[in-house]
Every structure is written in structure tokens, then in C-alpha cells.
Amino acid sequence: KSYNVVNGKIQILDNFSLELQSGSVTALWGASGSGKTTILNILGSFDTPDEGEVTLGDCSIPSLRGKKLAEFRRNDIAVIWQENNLITELTALENIMIGLQKHADSKTYELLETYAQRLGVSDLLNKFPGQLSGGERQRISILRAVIKRPKMILADEPTANLDWKNALEVFNIFLELVKELKCILLVATHDERIAKMCDRTINLQAMA
């Protein structure tokens, strides 16, 4: 993947290949500019590769358009951005439920209660994002992702707003939930400690 800049093109990824298994946790480790977010954007359908294939099961992600693209984003993937991307005018609970739309069932509500307790946010659901700390907003973002029960979760620096004690606690719970859901988790991080907690680590700096 390359991008046009004033003086020509900048190559971010070249001859990059990655295969992810259901239930696996993979870390993309590297400094800013190493390609972590670019990979998440391509897998999340927010960007397209210059060449090559990107698939989730039998689905070719770059070829998705219109209704099929909307369904893919709604049902098959969940994204946790470093900036949280919570809607400030909605409560934490409303932020969680808006992505589910009409797909919430009794099991979803049961899981919501269980996951909220495990993530320590049960008492925060009726608060607005502005009333929450950065770490609390990140916990809500993780809850919003896992409650969808997607095939794949993409997480961009999911513990960046947490001190190490809280980061360790939250990430361990996150890993437990992912294993239970048997979904793919791809984590972009510059924190080597977080990378070591994953099943495997892709060192993007070594590929540069």
C-alpha cells in the first residue's frame, strides 16, 4: 500500500501477507508510521490495497459496496479506535446499542449485563462520554465491540489511555472474551508488553 505525497509516493506496506485464524489474537507491533493503522483500515474496509487480496472467509473485503459493505461493517467486524469514537450526545449504553440496531435479542442483553460486570462498567452505562475518564471510555469501546459477537475485532492501541495496572486487567478480560467468542482479534500496539500477551506478534519494524 502506498500513498501520494507532495514529492511522489510513500510506500507503507510492500509484499505483506497475513493469515488470521478464528480465536487467535495477533499483535501488530511497531512505532508510528510502521503500517499498523493502515492494515487495520484495509481489513476494516476503510481503505483498499493497491494490489493483492483481502478476505474474511469467502468475503473479498475490497470488493464490497453499498448494502453488502454496510452489512459487513455491522455484522462481521468491530473496530476499537484509539480515540474511542463514542457519540458525545448518547449515553454509554446508547453508544453500545446503536451498532446493534435491530439485531439485539435476549441473549445480547444477557451478555451485555455479564460483559459490563466483567469489564467493570455496569455503573457507567447511563453516563455520557464526557462524564467518563479516558480509561472508562476505552472499556465502553471494548464492550461495544465484543457485544456484537463479530467474526473479527480490530483494535488500535486499545490500552493507550490506561495506566499499566488497568491496562493489564482490561486486556486480560478482553482476551478472555475474545477466546470465548472464538473470533479473530488483531491488535495494533507500540507497547511490547501488550504484544507479548498475544498469541503471536508481527514485528512491522523488522519488515521496514
Give tens-digit pLDDT for 97-127.
987 765 678 888 899 999 999 999 999 999 9
Is the per-residue pLDDT at 143 higher than 70? yes
Is the per-residue pLDDT at 149 higher than 70? yes
Nearest alpha-carbon partner for 204 in 16, 72, 63: 16
Residues 6+ apart with CB under 8 A from 84: 129, 134, 137, 138, 140, 141, 161
**CA–CA separation, 110 vs 32, rounded Å?**
39
Task: Label residues 55-86 b or e (16+ Cβ within 10 Å = b).
Answer: ebeeeebeebeeeeeeebbeebbbbbbbebeb
Between 107 and 196, residue with greater pLDDT: 196
**CA–CA separation, 62 vs 84, rounded Å?**
25
Is the per-residue pLDDT at 7 higher than 80? no
Q: How confident is the model at residue 19, as a pLDDT? A: 92
Q: How confident is the model at residue 4, as a pLDDT? A: 67
CATH number at residue 19: 3.40.50.300
Q: How confident is the model at residue 33, as a pLDDT? A: 74
Domain containing 32: what range?
2-207
Handedness of CA 168, 169, 175, 176 (dihedral sign): positive
Query: Tens digits of per-residue pLDDT, 156-188?
Result: 999 887 889 989 999 999 999 999 999 999 999
Whether residue 149 contacts residue 105, with contact meaning beta carbons closer than 8 Å, is answered with no
Handedness of CA 84, 108, 186, 44 (dihedral sign): negative
Q: Return the percentage of the chain with pLDDT > 70, whole number.
A: 92
C-alpha cell at 137: 471510555
Is the per-residue pLDDT at 208 higher than 60? no
**CA–CA separation, 139 vs 173, rounded Å?**
10
Query: For the chain, how many structural domains are there in total?
Result: 1
Q: Return the percentage of the chain with pLDDT > 90, whole number.
A: 67
As a residue count, the chain comes to 208
Between 115 and 3, residue with greater pLDDT: 115
